[in-house]
């Protein structure tokens, strides 16, 4: 069966709990998965560590990476670049790890276009009311903030159907197991096992000759 890693993009509603989910998946299955770390030109915030949350790069360095095709995808928000360094992803895939990128929908679609075998997963709370209550938070947010979050959620919802799988994050543990099981299942897709099929066909023809 397919031993090469699968490139996986995980997106989801803000507040769907992607971060916690990814951390738990990595903790439970460190042999299976590698989490890609994005590069950015924005400065680190309190508590952020270079090489853990992001690779913090100068604008000059980032633009050089763009020019050298060293990024799988990148985008500019406000004044800052964000992108996925290619080298780490390819190294991990070759080692047989499934590599997870946690990026939003525009980036996800760009990756899928470049690498059609990419697996797109979308994380969602069980229903809209639960999503809203997570977005509203502890009641300390202004009307404006909540409204802008709800608008963003509506936009995110429009993108859902572009993803291959939906994962409902209700109970963290169940959700982690669901994701793991979906990804492991994907390794059995015949389209990911063309070599295996060709080997069987060739060997069968050879063995037929041995009679």
Which residue ranges make up the annotated binding site for ATP? 12-19
Site string for a copy of itself, 12-51 (x = CB under 8 A): ----------------------------------------
Of 46, 60, 158, 173, the one binding a copy of itself by CB under 8 A: 158
Which residue ranges make up the annotated binding site? 12-19
Nearest distance in Å: CB 165, a copy of itself = 5
Q: For 83, list phi and psi in degrees, rounded to 5.
A: -165, 170
Q: Give the CA distances from residue 43 to residues 2, 39, 61, 82, 85, in Å, rounded to whole numbers and listed in that order.
A: 40, 11, 14, 12, 18
Strand duo 55-56 + 39-40: pairing = parallel
Residue nearer to a copy of itself on the CB measure, 80 or 151? 151
The Cα–Cα gap between 69 and 87 comes to: 10
Binding residues for a copy of itself restricted to 161-200, rule: CB under 8 A? 161, 163-168, 178, 181-182, 184-186, 188-191, 193-194, 196-197, 199-200
Beta-carbon contacts of 79 under 8 Å, excluding residues fewer than 6 positions away, are: none
Provide the CA 128 distance to its chain's centre, in angstroms.
22
The Cα–Cα gap between 100 and 119 comes to: 9
The Cα–Cα gap between 126 and 16 comes to: 9
Of 9, 37, 99, 153, the one binding a copy of itself by CB under 8 A: 153
Rounded CA Rg of the chain: 20
Of 114, 154, 172, 195, the one binding a copy of itself by CB under 8 A: 154
Query: Is residue 148 a contact residue for a copy of itself (CB under 8 A)?
Result: no
Binding residues for a copy of itself restricted to 113-132, rule: CB under 8 A? 122, 124, 127-129, 131-132
Nearest to 38 by CA among 55, 58, 22: 55
Residue 80 structure tokens: 């800052």
Query: Is residue 143 a contact residue for a copy of itself (CB under 8 A)?
Result: yes
Nearest distance in Å: CB 94, a copy of itself = 22
Residue with tokens 């604008």: 59
Q: Rule CB under 8 A: which residues touch a copy of itself?
A: 1, 122, 124, 127-129, 131-132, 143, 146-147, 150-151, 153-154, 157-158, 160-161, 163-168, 178, 181-182, 184-186, 188-191, 193-194, 196-197, 199-208, 211
């Amino acid at each position: 069966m397919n031993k090469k890693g699968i490139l996986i993009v995980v997106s989801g509603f803000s507040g769907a709990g992607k971060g916690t989910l990814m951390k738990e998946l990595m903790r439970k299955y460190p042999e299976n998965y590698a989490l890609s770390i994005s590069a950015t030109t924005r400065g680190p915030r309190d508590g952020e560590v270079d090489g853990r949350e992001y690779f913090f790069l100068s604008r000059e360095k980032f633009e050089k990476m763009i020019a050298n095709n060293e990024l799988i995808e990148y985008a500019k928000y406000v004044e800052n670049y964000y992108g996925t360094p290619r080298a780490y992803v390819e190294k991990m895939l070759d080692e047989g790890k499934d590599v997870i990128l946690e990026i939003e929908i525009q980036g996800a679609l760009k990756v899928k276009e470049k690498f059609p075998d990419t697996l797109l997963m979308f994380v969602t709370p069980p229903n809209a009311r639960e999503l809203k209550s997570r977005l509203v938070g502890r009641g300390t947010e202004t009307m404006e903030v909540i409204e802008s979050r709800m608008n963003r959620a509506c936009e995110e919802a429009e993108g859902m159907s572009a993803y291959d799988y939906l994962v409902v994050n209700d109970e963290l543990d169940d959700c982690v197991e669901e994701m793991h099981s979906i990804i492991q299942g994907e390794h059995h897709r015949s389209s990911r096992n063309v070599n295996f099929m060709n080997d069987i066909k060739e060997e069968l023809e050879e063995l037929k000759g041995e009679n």
